[in-house]
Structure 1
Amino acid sequence: MDEAGWDVEPGDEIEPVVQAVGRLLKVCREAAGMRVAEFGEVMGYGEDMIRKIERGQRIPRPEFLDKADDVLRAQGHLKAFKRDMEQARYPKKVRDLADMERRAVEMLLYGSHNIHGLLQTPEYARTLFEMRQPALTEDIVERETAARMARKAVFEREPAPTLSFVQEQVTLERPYGGKMVLRRQLEHLLEVAQLRNVTLQVMPTDRQENAGASGLIQVLKFADGTAIGRSSGVFNARPVSSPKDLRILELRYGMIRAQALTPRESQAFIEQALGRL
């Protein structure tokens, strides 16, 4: 895959911004007296890729704009769009989710099928996308994986959000991608669990009662007192924001946490799982 960026999804609302960046890039290149071939050689990309970016058909990576701004002496005009292109790198369907995760001050996250996206390693995430059927193209796999990894910036925010994860035992045992991928994934879970703003718990398979039997739960709370939640087992899996609906999700999540292993027990459980690999 060419590392310059990703193709724009047809009809995406970000398309006009990408096109504007492309036009600006062309203006700056021509003002610098550089032909497409010459500019492409300096940037390390072929003429076709540069033309696609200038036509607004390809989303340039922020680092591409950094280098292009320096090469063309654009005085920061190209770099000014880095944040916009950072947003554009998310596929359309996850852009709103990423924005909500950036704004959330507290997240309640229960996963019953796979490791939650915010906890995934690049190798684990890539494996999940590679297993999709019908098969995704390599370009889409790259973009989806990169977008998922970019969402993990929530762990670096200041002030840090409060994050609570509960994972079903089976999600820690499925060897997606092979044992080495699973080993690194479990090691990463132990690293994340050490963060002071993170609580990570495991729901053992042998529990006779499990309030999460109907599927995943996600609740994101914001600084203004509002929140949004979703569960695959209620409200037809649609996002909800009314206090009444959110109370139902929070009640279920509270019961799940009470039924799961404690954080300390969960850490020991993951360490034991690692020892069996």
Structure 2
Amino acid sequence: MPGPKDLDPSSSPRAFLGAELRHAREKAGLSQEELGQRLFVSGSFIGQLEAGTRRMQPDYARMLDEVLGTEDFFHRNCKAAAKSRYPDHFAEAAEAEAIATEIRQYASTLIPGLLQTSAYARAVNRAYEPTAPEETITERTEARMARTRLLDDPTGPLLWAVLDEATLRRETGGRAVMAESLRHITDLIRRNRVIVQVLPFDAGAHTSMESSLKLMYFEDAPPLAYFEGGGTGRLEDDPAIVARMRLAFELLAASALSPQKSLAMIEALAQNYGHEEHS
């Protein structure tokens, strides 16, 4: 496994903890695999902690302090690294997403967060929490919009999304919101910022009919798969599971319309939404 790159400790609490973990591990004369064995995790998991792609949990922090002789350093500081503006079940995935070099995602029921507009995100958040105060919905929406700024960088990450046709036809927030959302996606496509394919209804049965999927790749750490369901989510780094999800995504992309035909379909739907809303 290639060694992790040097991190800027001032960039984030997790980067600081990762750099300190690497320093303490090397000082103890342990490889990532050897330290992982002491904690009953894989060496790649230790690498992800050092690279900042995984959040250090309190239980692991205590074990690291014990194994590495760092008193209570990691346990004390992992609380600061755990602070997030995102819900607990998604926080770690959002942080990994922010440093990924490539993201591949299949969306079965709604437009992925990175491709959403503010109005669409607000409609989704309100549907999730119909009785929440308006301040909570605004906070959730702003957090989601902060994630979309990843796409302001013209060089990365690479985002390749396969959208089920259902995501484009479900009127989320009304027809005007849908028209704006689909025009936003076509703009990103035409600026060569994202790759988007549509999986049409007539593709029939496919490999991910029961769920969406998300794969994230990193420069100096193994890839991660993310699974999400109502108010829950988990990251998975098991190579066999990640490989299975990669194959599932590739099969979905093979069954989907080409990027050119997908763009034409999205543009046509955007025009229909806009025209009917105007009428």
Into which bin does the TM-score normalised by the smaller protein fall?
A: 0.5 to 0.7
Aligned length: 191
How far did 1:172 drift? 0.6
Is 2:185 aligned against 1:189?
yes
How far did 1:146 drift? 0.2
Distance in structure 2 (CA, Å) of the matches to 1:180 and 1:192: 19
Contact 1:110 1:217 in 2 (8 A): yes
Distance in structure 2 (CA, Å) of the matches to 1:155 and 1:186: 16
Equivalence for 2:74 = none
How far did 1:88 drift? 5.0
User: Quick one: which amino acid aligns to residue 96 of structure 1?
Assistant: E
Superposition RMSD in Å: 2.3
Aligned-pair identity in percent equals 29
Larger Rg: 1
Distance in structure 1 (CA, Å) of the matches to 2:260 and 2:234: 33
What whole-Å deviation, never above 9, does each CA across 1:153-180 have from its counterpart, x for those lacking one? 2112364111100111111111121111
Distance in structure 1 (CA, Å) of the matches to 2:174 and 2:150: 28
Change over 3 Å in CA distance of 1:205–1:158 after alignment to 2: closer
How far did 1:97 drift? 2.4
* SS at structure 1 position matched to 2:266: helix
Normalised by the size of structure 2, how large is the TM-score? 0.63
Is 2:261 aligned against 1:265?
yes
Extract unaligned runs of 5+ from structure 1.
1-16, 18-83
Equivalence for 1:137 = 133
Distance in structure 2 (CA, Å) of the matches to 1:201 and 1:177: 23
Contact 1:91 1:143 in 2 (8 A): no
Contact 2:89 2:233 in 1 (8 A): no
How far did 1:183 drift? 0.6
Change over 3 Å in CA distance of 1:97–1:212 after alignment to 2: same
Contact 1:129 1:136 in 2 (8 A): no
Higher normalized contact order (CA 8 Å, seq sep 6+, divided by chain length) = 2
Q: Within 5 Å, give how 1:82-231 maps onto structure 2.
A: 88-133=84-129, 135-157=131-153, 159-231=155-227
Contact 1:111 1:168 in 2 (8 A): yes
Change over 3 Å in CA distance of 1:111–1:275 after alignment to 2: same
User: Quick one: which amino acid aligns to residue 189 of structure 2?
Assistant: A
Change over 3 Å in CA distance of 1:254–1:275 after alignment to 2: same
Normalised by the size of structure 1, how large is the TM-score? 0.63
Distance in structure 1 (CA, Å) of the matches to 2:206 and 2:196: 17
What whole-Å deviation, never above 9, does each CA across 1:37-81 have from its counterpart, x for those lacking one? xxxxxxxxxxxxxxxxxxxxxxxxxxxxxxxxxxxxxxxxxxxxx
Contact 1:231 1:249 in 2 (8 A): no
What whole-Å deviation, never above 9, does each CA across 1:98-144 have from its counterpart, x for those lacking one? 21111100101110011101111000000111122452221110110
